[in-house]
Structure 1
Amino acid sequence: MKKKWWHEKVAYQIYPKSFLDTKGNGIGDLRGVINKLDYLKELGVDIIWLSPCYPSPLADQGYDIADYYDIDPRFGTMADMDELLVEAKKRNMYILMDLVINHCSDEHEWFKKAMADLDSEYAKYFFIEDGVNGNPPNNWRSYFGGSAWEKIEGTDKYYLHLFHKKQPDLNWENPKLRDEIYKMINWWLDKGLAGFRVDAIMNISKALPFTSYNYPPDREDGTVICAKMLGDAKNVDTYLHELRLHTFDKHDAFTVGEVFTDRTEDIPIFIGDDGHFSTMFDFNEVGFGKSDKGWYAAKPITPDDYRNCCFETQARVNDLGYISTIIENHDLPRGASYFLQTCDINDDSKKLLGTMQLMMKGLPFIYQGQEIGMENCDFTGMEEIDDISSIGEYQNALDAGLSKEDAFNAVKKFSRDNARTPMQWDDSDNTGFTTGTPWLMVNPKYKKINVKSQIDDENSVLNYYRKLTALRKNEAYKDTIVYGEVVPYLENEHNLMAFYREGEKQTLLVLGNFEKEEKTVKLEKKCKTNILSNMKKVEFVNDSTIKLSPYQCVILEVE
């Protein structure tokens, strides 16, 4: 694996709609991002990924793009974006935008022209197919529930949407469509964008012809999740190779792919030295326990499961490429609430979880609010939830026979809106996010969990994250943390996560106690330096034994 400039960086995802509103309209904006660049710099952030801020009807919160060449007025102007790029560069920071090219909005000019004339060139930008005996072309179910096909009014034809019906899939089989996409990407990179997070990219190649791929249903309505077809789609590597050659390679752009694969042979293809992307996210942990039946049937994750998933990824990737680590993002519940659901959720356990992520080998992506320990929101009813995916999962749970109460409880635990409530800046009205009415309810926990209360508190979650990012950049330890091998230690010890980071010149040992009881841990190597802990007191029983307090983690340099 060749060493790259971004390997030693720290990345941060911003969900602009919920970050900071400077206009008082209840919606975050790009000027809010500009205003907080110094905050992010002090946190140790180098790379900023912005979730979509293009013009959009917001059927899927901006992942339905109506114009790839502009900024939605809700979020500001192109002048604001230009200023953000300039201000970020002054601070040696890099801006990524979300690249959503599997689908667009049904309000995009291309789709409007396609619907106006189903025989036009623009109709070939999409997948428009004849129905079969009055039914959709096949039995695929969209990721948001219901058929992945929408009937075109007044015809017997359907268009494909693997996501929301307002997100028609783009036809990557069409070279003219691909050229339009490459032109747009290069336009943004020429403006000074550092690169992209690439959304839902595994879906761009479809199993064709559609009518040949009816799969055995996995739900009682006769549908099957559309992801089933990905294994039969033939052209994803061809398209992604062409995409890279025509765009990313020309600008030495940084790219992180939303790629779901557990096959070791895929790693070099996607993120090797000549791979499609610079890196891809590790979804092994956040995908644990998921069920094709829906959220209501998901299996809870335990600390042992989390540990095992992390080690599985490290063993699979090894030196084939460089992975990106997460514990939360805009599509997930809050990491503290999800990964600590069998633990006490407090500042100590939040610091512990952050340590495990940032000390893994990989590029860490921190999601807005993670650094202050934001938690899931205690929604009280479906009327408080905006997320289209959550609404679909609620109906799915009802259809499966759950009561309204049980269906809601399942949804609120996993709802994407948990991560989309406004960023908690202070304890004033609407948590300092807006002077207006926030587009989504503020998490009631903001009175205790906010930036203002933590920024000058030496023992806060925020300042602990600052210590973690500083440690990753510390010249004394940087090479080991960035490139050192992850070697599991005591991996069968219940509620203990322990691993070495073995570099060329030093070895670090990371220990984390995921339970509310003290844990005594045998050390096979003598400690040279106690580098960092989430607690003031680190108790060594003797040279070969350490006693960890409940939810304590330590980072040691060992012989």
Structure 2
Amino acid sequence: MERQWWHNKAAYQIWPKSFYDSNGDGVGDLPGITAKLDYLKDLGVDIIWLSPVYQSPLADQGYDISDYQAIDPRFGTMEDMDRLLEEARKRDIRLVMDLVVNHCSDEHIWFKKAVEDPEGPYGQYFYFRKGKNGNPPCNWRGYFGGSAWSLVPGQSDLYYLHLFHEKQPDLNWENPALRREIYNMINWWLDKGVAGFRIDAIVNIKKDLAFRDYPADRPDGLSDCRRMLSEPGVAEGLGEFLEEMKRETFAPHKAFTVGEVFDTDPARLAEFIGPEGHFSTMFDFAPTCLGKDAQGWARAKQPTTTQYRDACFGSQRQAAGVGFLANIIENHDEPRGVSQYLPKDAQDSEQAKTCLATASVLLRGIPFLYQGQELGMTNTRFERIEDVDDVSTHGEYAACLALGLTEAQALDACAQYSRDNARTPVQWTDGENAGFTTGTPWIGVNPNYTRINAREQQARPDSVLNWYKKLLALRKDPRWEEALVWGDCEPVMEEEEGLMAYRRTGGGKTLLVVCNLSELPRSLALSGTIRQVLLNNQEGGPQPGFDRYAAQPWQAVVLELEQ
């Protein structure tokens, strides 16, 4: 595999609205990000993935874009963006934007012109279809619940497709004129100095144009729109679009790209992240899919740490010899990782949090941290559904009620799985509003900020924050880089429940990562003699010269073994 500049980097996702507010209006902004670049550099971040800051009505928090080449005033100005790019460059940090091109906003000029003249050229930028027997064209359910079709404004039987929010009309990628508009926009940003893109919801750009009905899978009589994506021919057509986009934009700029790709056939992984793949990398969503249910959050179950391990190892095996995955514990669409993967009685344990961090960061692939993850931020608690901003959570709340749950039970489900758990403000200090803003935060701060915050952890050597610094520094250390970046990843001791252990080998070095993701102490026999202990999140444990040790609950160690 040809080595690329991004292979040995660490990435960090910023949700701008909740990162840091520089002007006291309660909303995070671009100057706020610039102000925290030194913090990110000290953490060990090389790539920032910036969630949408484009002009938007924020029906879906910026993933409904009304102007791709303008900054929303809530976040600042284009001059602020240029300064962020410049200051990041000074620190050798590259900026990756969010590319949202499956859909735009219904306030985009393209959609406004399409509504004015559905038969005109802009009507072909979207999927406009006649209804069927007084109903929408087909029974697809959108990702946020409800029909994926809404009436075109001013029309009585003409619908537009929106797989997400009704204010997010899907763009018709079958139209070459639309694709050319998108490619021009991508190149405009790359020419400005953006290093690449995280590519949102990209598997959805190819539709089954038959728009057929499928068997209902919930009491609402609708069928999950993802059923359509599995139709023969859809995946093949997707590849043609992605290759054209790469050829016209990414490849000439040598851009770094990370795809949001779900449900990929392992046999086709090379098409996405192989040496000639559509993208540089793609997220490993296998762990995030654990415990989910077609009926929604009402039937979801929290995964065990063994299931988490097995999902990670399954992905590692699939990607071996193919390419690099982007490894995540959490992101803006998921609950907080420590609240999702750790047992309830371990979610306040810093040792458990550092153990989970170690298990993920040192896998083969590119570690992607999400803001606040490095502090061990947890889920929050919503007392009322009115306290929830996220449109997806409101849809799931309604689905829970439809399945017979009480309002309290439905709220409990939302408290566990809501995307707003990841969108509460970053907890910088134990001061007012967690140091996020001098104004009123746009969404409530997690009350535990007085215990969990960056200022306290920066001053404490054994904090979660300082452990993440050690992990990222170890991965880049020239002595271990051959093993921890480009080397093989071999799972070991898989017969042990709740234990996640793997060997990283390369450059004549063998490292063993052992994470006891359980409350049980255990005696472990190793596959070799310990040469040295590189990291240990607890006192005691493995010693050089031995080939076994007693692993304590939630103990994480990184060992060099004798050859």
Q: TM-score range by the shorter chain?
A: over 0.9
Any conservation in 2 of the 1:423–1:431 contact (CA below 8 Å)? yes
Structure 2 match to 1:126: 126
| 1:518 and 2:518 are equivalent in the alignment | no
Matched residues in 2 for 1:103 and 1:75: separation?
21
Task: Tell me whether 321-330 or 513-522 shows the greater mean CA deviation.
Answer: 513-522
Separation in 2, partners of 1:106, 1:464: 44
- Map of 1:542-557 to 2, 5 A cutoff? 543-557=546-560
User: Counterpart of 1:221?
Assistant: 220
Name the counterpart of 2:197: 196
**Paired letter, 2:314:** E
| Pair 1:21-2:21 in alignment | yes
After superposition, where does 1:69-468 map in structure 2 within 5 Å? 69-152=69-152, 153-210=154-211, 213-232=212-231, 233=234, 234-341=236-343, 344-345=346-347, 346-468=349-471
Kindly provide the amino acid, as one letter, of the partner of residue 400 in structure 2. Answer: A
For 1:535 and 1:475, the matched residues in 2 are separated by: 25
Deviation at 1:341, TM superposition (A): 2.8
Equivalent-residue separation in structure 2 for 1:545 and 1:539 (angstroms): 7
State whether residues 529 and 544 of structure 2, in contact with CA within 8 Å, keep that contact through their aligned partners in structure 1.
Answer: no
CA distance in 2 between partners of 1:333 and 1:319 (Å): 31
Contact residue 314 and residue 361 of structure 1 kept, 8 A: yes
CA deviations over 1:215-256 (Å, ceiling 9, x no partner): 111112211110111122241000000000000011000000
Distance apart, 1:381 and its partner CA: 1.6
Counterpart amino acid of residue 229 in structure 2: L
Q: Which whole-Å deviations, capped at 9, do the CAs of 1:323-358 have from their partners, x for residues lacking one?
A: 000000000000010010355121000000100111
C-alpha separation in 1, matches of 2:20 and 2:545: 50
CA distance in structure 2 between the aligned counterparts of 1:414 and 1:50, rounded to whole angstroms: 23
SS of residue matched to 1:7? coil
Cα 1:50/1:383, change in 2 over 3 Å: same
Post-superposition Cα deviations, 1:115-159, rounded to whole Å, max 9, x if no partner, equal 111111111000000001111111100000000000124321100
Identity %: 53
Check the 8 A contact 1:130/1:137 in 2, yes or no. Answer: yes
Q: Note the aligned Cα RMSD (angstroms).
A: 1.1
For normalisation by structure 1, the TM-score amounts to 0.98
Q: C-alpha separation between the residues in 2 aligned to 1:123 and 1:511?
A: 57
8 Å CA contact 2:100–2:200 kept in 1: the answer is yes
1:479-516 deviation digits (Å, cap 9, x = unpaired): 10001211111102111111111224111111111222
Give the drift of 1:539: 4.3
Unpaired runs of 5+ residues, structure 2, are none
- Give the C-alpha shift of residue 299 in structure 1: 2.3
Do the aligned residues in 2 keep the contact of 1:512 with 1:552 (CA within 8 Å)? yes
1:413-470, Cα deviation, whole Å (9 max, x unpaired)? 0000000000000011101100000000000010000000011211111011000010
Residue type of the alignment partner of 1:183: N
- Separation in structure 2 between the aligned mates of residue 556 and residue 541 of structure 1, nearest angstrom: 9
SS at match of 1:517: coil
The 8 Å contact of residues 139 and 147 in structure 2, kept in 1 or not, is answered as: yes
Query: Does the aligned pair in 2 maintain the 1:541–1:547 contact within 8 Å?
Result: no
Measure how far apart 1:185 and its partner are.
0.3
Which whole-Å deviations, capped at 9, do the CAs of 1:355-402 have from their partners, x for residues lacking one? Answer: 011110010000000001000002222121100000000000000111
Secondary structure in structure 1 of the residue aligned to 2:170: coil
- 2:490 aligns with 487
Distance change in 2, residues 1:61/1:428 (3 Å)? same
The normalised TM-score by structure 2 is 0.98
Shift of 1:557: 0.5
Contact residue 454 and residue 461 of structure 1 kept, 8 A: yes
Return the letter of the residue paired with 2:323: G
Taking the aligned partners of 1:244 and 1:119, their CA distance within structure 2 comes to: 31
Q: Given that residues 355 and 555 in structure 2 are in contact (C-alpha distance below 8 angstroms), is that contact kept between their aligned partners in structure 1? A: yes
| Conservation of the 8 A alpha-carbon contact between 1:126 and 1:169 | yes
AA aligned to 1:312 is: G
- What is the one-letter code of the residue matched to 2:524? V
Structure 1 segments unaligned to the other structure (5+ residues): none
- How far apart in 1 are the matches of 2:6 and 2:345? 34
Greater displacement, 534-543 / 435-444: 534-543
1:273 is paired with a residue of what secondary structure? coil
